[in-house]
Amino acid sequence: MLMTNFVKKKYSGNGHCASLEKGTYLVQSQLYNAKLICNKYLFLTFQMISGILFFKNGFVEMQLHKNPPLNIVLYEPQIPPNTGNIARLCAATKCHLILLGKLGFDLSDKQLKRAGLDYWQWVSWEHFPDAEAFFATLSPENFHFLSVHNERPYTKINPQEGDYLFFGKETSGLPNAWMESFPERCFTLPMMEKGVRSLNLGSSVAVVVYDGLRQLGKF
């Protein structure tokens, strides 16, 4: 887990500290350069890992879950409320949220914060800008792709503790190269009406996550 030190001093300008708007506190990262955007919520965005802190009568540091039941991977999400709602789902289920690649919004987006309400302190999440590098670290038996371009229903997923569930960007989905390389890892949410192109991203994640948790015996 990325550890941060909270220190009371002025911004040093060395790229390792970021000050609050009123200059009362600083957050100093020992491992990565940090960018701080301060409003009601504080967002620290690191090179390979991201954390969210709340500023309510002090600091509350976001904790990374050591053994999440499932890892929810969003590839280049574009709509802030979708990601915010999924983050809220992860807070409720203790799943870990992973954002991959270039995001379609800034992490300070008001809609993102509003969708997550005041639950961000319980969200375990990371951001990996290099999606290909992250994907290369995974074993095929540990991930599952969800896409409309497939006919195998999500109920055929046999999840194991800590598996990765991949969901694509709202407009174009997951990279075709990934799905073509691992067709046996591709699943979908069946839709009865052929005129409906896709389901909302947040709704899709919720359906698959809760079914996965059921199969894992979490309830």
The domain boundary residue, chosen from 61, 87, 105: 61
The per-residue pLDDT for range 42-77, each reduced to its tens digit, is 333 333 334 433 333 333 345 688 899 999 999 999
Do 106 and 219 form a contact (C-beta atoms < 8 A)?
no
Asked if residue 38 and residue 93 are part of one domain, the reply reads no
pLDDT in tens, 196-211: 989 999 999 999 999 9
132: helix, coil or strand?
A: helix
Q: Are the C-beta atoms of 147 and 179 separated by less than 8 Å?
A: yes
Write down the pLDDT at residue 216. 98
Please indicate, yes or no, whether residues 75 and 57 belong to a single structural domain of this protein. no
Task: Give CA–CA dist 8/24, Å, rounded.
Answer: 7
Residue ending a domain, among 13, 28, 61, is 61
Same domain, 57 and 103: no
Contacting residues for 83 by C-beta, under 8 A, at least 6 apart: 74, 77, 99, 105, 112, 115
Same domain for 116 and 35: no
Amino acid 61: pLDDT: 45
* Coil vs helix vs strand at 156: helix
Report the chain's mean pLDDT, rounded to a whole number.
Answer: 75
pLDDT of residue 169: 95
- Which of 15, 31, 61 corresponds to the end of one domain? 61
Band of pLDDT at residue 132, cut at 50, 70 and 90: very high
Structure token digits, residue 103:
């995001």
Same-domain check for residues 81 and 126 = yes
Residue 45 and residue 82 share a domain? no
Q: What's the rounded mean pLDDT across residues 124-149?
A: 94
pLDDT digits (tens, 9 = 90+) for 79-124: 988 998 999 999 999 999 999 999 988 776 576 776 555 677 788 9
Q: Which residues pair with 127 in a beta bridge?
A: 99
Same domain, 49 and 116: no
Same domain, 142 and 177: yes
Long-range contacts of residues 57-65, Cβ cutoff 8 Å, at least 24 apart? 59/6, 59/25, 60/121, 61/4, 62/120, 62/121, 62/123, 62/124, 62/125, 63/1, 63/124, 64/1, 64/2, 64/96, 64/124, 64/126, 65/94, 65/95, 65/96, 65/124
Residue 117 has what pLDDT?
58
Q: Are residues 85 and 35 located together in one domain of the fold?
A: no
The CA distance from 91 to 88, in Å, is 5
Angle between helical axes of 80-93 and 201-215 (0-180°, round to 10): 20
Q: Average pLDDT, stretch 167-178?
A: 96
Domain count, the chain: 2
Q: Which two tokens stand for residue 214?
A: 């059921």
**Residues 39 and 136 reside in one and the same domain:** no
* Main-chain dihedrals φ then ψ at residue 59, nearest 5 degrees: -105, 145
How much is the average pLDDT of 149-163?
96
Please report, for the domain that includes residue 113, its CATH number.
3.40.1280.10
Residues 52 and 155 in one domain: no
State which residues form the domain around 152.
70-215
Contact predicate 42/19, CB 8 Å: no
| Rounded distance between C-alpha atoms, residue 77 and residue 82, angstroms | 8
Q: Are 164 and 109 in contact (CB under 8 A)?
A: no
Are 25 and 74 part of one and the same domain?
Answer: no
* Reported confidence tier of residue 39, pLDDT bands at 50, 70, 90: very low
